[in-house]
Structure 1
Amino acid sequence: MPLIQVHHATRADAPDRAPAIAALVTRLAAKVLRKREDLTAVIVTRVDPAVWYVGGRRLSDLDLASYALEIKVTDGTNTPAEKASFLAAVHAGMGEILGALHPESYVHVEEARGDAYGYAGITQARRAYDDIDERDRREHLATAAVARWGIR
């Protein structure tokens, strides 16, 4: 259930890339980060390259495209290798969609605590707890009680 926000800067005369970008990042979140496609929300925003600066220079003056992608996932649900693979795959895919990229194009995998992040008014921690069947829930509560209070 990640939320992905992508800002991208391309030439003013470039065609709309939003559908291709949304499809790419949704597919990669599912394939690389093991996130459900049907629960992946994507917001794509085009930014005028005349107002996107890198090293004090406008992208429009450099004739390069760029992007900044942020994806929110629940803390601890992905390995460092998965996150590194996601960054590399996004960069390669965005290069195919946008053309020549400025090397200062970014991906940020933000890991949010499960008790502070969710959708439809339910935190991910609560969702995970609700997925445990009743027997496992009792065992979980008993284990937590022993750990916290030494109660058996």
Structure 2
Amino acid sequence: MPYLRVRIATHATTVTAAQVASTLTDLAVNKLGKNAAAAAVDVHFSAPSDWFIGGQALAPDQSSFFIEIKLTAGTNTRDEKAAFIKAAYQAMSKLLPHVATTSYIVLQDVGADSWGYGGETQEFRYIHG
């Protein structure tokens, strides 16, 4: 696992959902030790005029993003999470033009008994090897 939900506000037409998904999957593997085959990434684009920071819409040439990643609780250290946040911000800043500093990355720890895929919880997978 993980599951990544990505919201992006940009005018750039050269950035694709596939590029974003590939970039973030690679970072989840390299920074968090996750299995690429089990990583799901959901990417949505918005117009800068529909994205607000401090009550003001982004400028037409500005970009911003929100990345939410759900992880199995206890599988990553603080340092690994910090490294992912730093690398993800840097990677998104390379993909998107004029990224607002107020772009967020949220890592959520979910109990192993509270989520899973393929009809099995992460806790079941751990117990049964």
| CA deviation string 1:16-58 (max 9, x = no partner) | 4211110110000000000001110001000111110000111
Larger radius of gyration: 1
1:18 aligns with 2:17: yes
What's 1:113 paired with?
111
TM-score (norm 1): 0.82
Note if contact 2:81-2:107 (Cα within 8 Å) is conserved in structure 1.
Answer: yes
Q: Which runs of 5+ in 2 are unaligned?
A: none
Between 1 and 2, higher relative CO (CA 8 Å, sep ≥ 6) is seen in 2
CA distance in structure 2 between the aligned counterparts of 1:50 and 1:120, rounded to whole angstroms:
39
Higher strand residue share: 2
1:91 aligns with 2:95: no
Q: Where in structure 1 are there 5+ consecutive unaligned residues?
A: 132-152
Q: Counterpart amino acid of 1:39?
A: A
Moved segments of 4+, more than 4 Å: none
SS in structure 2 of the partner of residue 114 of structure 1: coil
Question: What do the CA deviations read for 1:77-97 (whole angstroms, capped 9, x no partner)?
Answer: 000000000000000000000
Q: 1:66 aligns with which of 64, 67, 70?
A: 64
Q: Considering fraction of residues, name the structure with more helix.
A: 1
**Is 1:80 paired with 2:78?**
yes
Instruction: Give the alignment's Cα RMSD to 1 decimal.
Output: 1.1
Partners of 2:2 and 2:83 lie apart in 1 by 17
Aligned length: 129
Question: By how many angstroms is 1:106 displaced?
Answer: 0.4
Quick one: distance in 2 between partners of 1:120 and 1:72? 16
The question of whether the paired residues in 2 share the 8 Å contact of 1:17 and 1:98 is answered with no
Q: Distance in 2 between matches of 1:76 and 1:16?
A: 33
Q: Tell me if structure 2 keeps the 8 A contact 1:17–1:97.
A: no
Identity among equivalent pairs (%): 36
> d(CA) in 2 for partners of 1:99 and 1:80?
29
User: Which residue does the alignment assign to 2:128?
Assistant: 130
